Every structure is written in C-alpha cells, then in structure tokens.
C-alpha cells in the first residue's frame, strides 16, 4: 500500500503534462529577497501555506535558506531548526504535496521522514554527494536546477545547462532515481547574466525535448523584472506572469511562484482560450 507521502508525490507528478502546475513558495527565512522574515514563525508559515493552497497552489515548496545572490550560507542545524516546527503541522493541515528547497542531503532525509514528497535541489544533486542516494532510497521526486558558482558572460548558457543536466542525470541514474520522478529547472537568476536569464527561458522547449523531462520555471519576482520594468519587488508580478505564460507556451510544466491566485487565474484564461 502506498504511503501518504507517496500518494502526494504521485498526485503532483500526475499533473505534469495535463495542466500547468503551481508550486507555491513558502520561505521560512529572515533574508529571502522577496518575503524574508514574513513567515518565520510556525503559525504565520502555516497560515501562508493554507492560503497558497486555497489560492490554487498544487504543491507548497518550503525553504529555510535563502539562495538569493550574496546570501549567507546557513549551517545544517540552523536550517533544520527553522524547518522542523513548520513541516509536521503543515503536512497535517494541507492535503497538497510539500517539497523542500534544500541542497543538503541530511535536511532532505529528515524532511522526507516527516512526509515531504519532493526535493527541490538548487545544485541539481551536485553539491552534496549523498543527495542522489537519499532521494532514490526514499522514493522522492526531485527538481534538478541548473546553477553556477560564477557568472561568465561570454559562455553559451544553453550549452552549459545541457552539460550540467547531463551530469546531474548521470548521478540520478547511478543512484537509481526513476526518470519519471525527475524535473529540470533552468535556474533563472543563478549564475547568469540578465541576457543569459532570458536565453535560458527561451531554451525551455529545447531543454524539454532534449531531456524528455518536465521543466519547472522559477522566475517569481526576480530582479530581472526590476531591471526590465523599473519595478520594485512588489511590482514585479506582471513580469512574472508574462514570463510564465511565455514559457507555458514553450512547454513548461510547473511554475514556482509567490502569487498563486494570480497565476491560477491566468492559467484558467489560457485554458479557456485553448479549449474554446
């Protein structure tokens, strides 16, 4: 018999390719670029998770370490101290699956033990050598995100993403992670110039075709929209929606966002047009 964690995992995976899936962002951090400190207490975090699901999120992605440019790395014990009081009540209060935004294998192992279904690794299984084994052993799904230590403006970013994903997928295969439990993420805002971020988004359809995997897009309220539109963090929603609708048309499957209700409405309009 499937566990509740597996049921939630399969409910999420079953959406992919059927309709756009919304991954609601829940940061329990003091320093995330958009909402740092707003949901640091367990009660506030739980209320926000319930709201995200009510607004249309299909999965809630919980992060306890900011990965914004210039962030301060968080020790494992501190990351878990932020997560532990949130995860159990959150999983008990919502029926939607929960993912954890971490690149540390021990955090992933503990979170999965509590019922988390998906690991969202911003280093694509390449930072912690134990991560692929933890994901495989627990039967979790995984998001493999492209990342770079440094920004190099002159490189071909699409070629770099292909090489990175090939390495990550080799690690996944060696560990025994089934292909059908893997998603890829071009990693917008991670180790890329403004131009490379746009090129990475433009590559959505080609990445999907090359790797035959669902593509997750995470552009919510990113600085690139501030640069393009001259908008502050709260004014970047229109840019986020535009980028997500553009990549939806290119075949993206999952959209990691702060604003679930607005995206649910936008996707509903797209669906109505497509099926008119």
Q: Give the CA-trace dihedral at 157, 249, 116, 184, to 10 degrees.
A: -30
Are the CB atoms for 235 and 229 separated by under 8 Å?
yes
Question: pLDDT tens, 184-235?
Answer: 999 999 999 999 999 999 999 999 999 999 999 999 988 888 888 887 766 7
| Predicted pLDDT at 32 | 47
Q: Give the CA-trace dihedral at 180, 207, 262, 48, to 10 degrees.
A: 50
Block means of pLDDT (10 residues each) for the chain, length 276 residues? Answer: 90 96 92 52 90 98 80 86 92 96 97 97 98 98 97 98 98 98 97 96 98 97 86 80 97 97 98 96
| Predicted pLDDT at 39 | 60
From CA 18, how far away is CA 253, in angstroms rounded?
A: 9
From CA 262, how far away is CA 33, in angstroms rounded?
A: 20
| Predicted pLDDT at 1 | 61
Active site residues: 222, 256
| pTM recorded for the entire structure | 0.94
| Predicted pLDDT at 67 | 73
Please provide the CATH number assigned to the domain covering 4-274: 3.20.20.20
| Predicted pLDDT at 216 | 98
| Predicted pLDDT at 228 | 86
Q: Cβ contacts of residue 164 below 8 Å, gap of 6+?
A: 124, 126, 146, 147
96 phi and psi, to 5 degrees?
A: -70, 155
């Amino acid at each position: 018999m499937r566990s509740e964690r597996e049921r939630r995992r399969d409910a999420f995976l079953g959406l992919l390719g059927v309709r756009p899936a919304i991954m609601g962002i829940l940061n329990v951090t003091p320093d995330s670029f958009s909402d740092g400190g707003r949901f640091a207490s367990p009660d506030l975090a739980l209320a926000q998770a319930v709201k995200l699901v009510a607004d249309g999120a299909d999965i809630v992605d919980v992060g306890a370490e900011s990965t914004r440019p210039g962030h301060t790395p968080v020790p494992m014990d501190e990351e878990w101290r932020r997560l532990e009081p949130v995860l159990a009540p959150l999983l008990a209060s919502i029926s939607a699956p929960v993912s954890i935004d971490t690149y540390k294998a021990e955090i992933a192992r503990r979170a999965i033990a509590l019922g988390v279904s998906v690991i969202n690794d911003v280093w694509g299984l390449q930072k912690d050598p134990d991560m692929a084994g933890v994901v495989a052993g627990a039967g979790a799904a995984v998001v493999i995100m492209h990342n770079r230590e440094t920004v190099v403006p002159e490189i071909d970013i699409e070629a770099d993403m292909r090489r990175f994903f090939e390495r990550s997928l080799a690690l996944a295969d060696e560990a025994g992670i089934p292909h059908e439990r893997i998603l890829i993420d071009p990693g917008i805002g991670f180790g890329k110039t403004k131009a490379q971020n746009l090129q990475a988004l433009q590559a959505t359809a080609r990445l999907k075709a090359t790797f035959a995997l669902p593509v997750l897009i995470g552009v919510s309220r990113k600085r690139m929209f501030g640069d393009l539109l001259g908008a502050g963090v709260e004014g970047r929603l229109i840019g986020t929606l535009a980028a997500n609708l553009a990549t939806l048309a290119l075949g993206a499957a999952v959209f990691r966002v702060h604003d679930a209700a607005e995206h649910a409405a936008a996707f509903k309009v797209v669906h109505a047009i497509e099926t008119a």
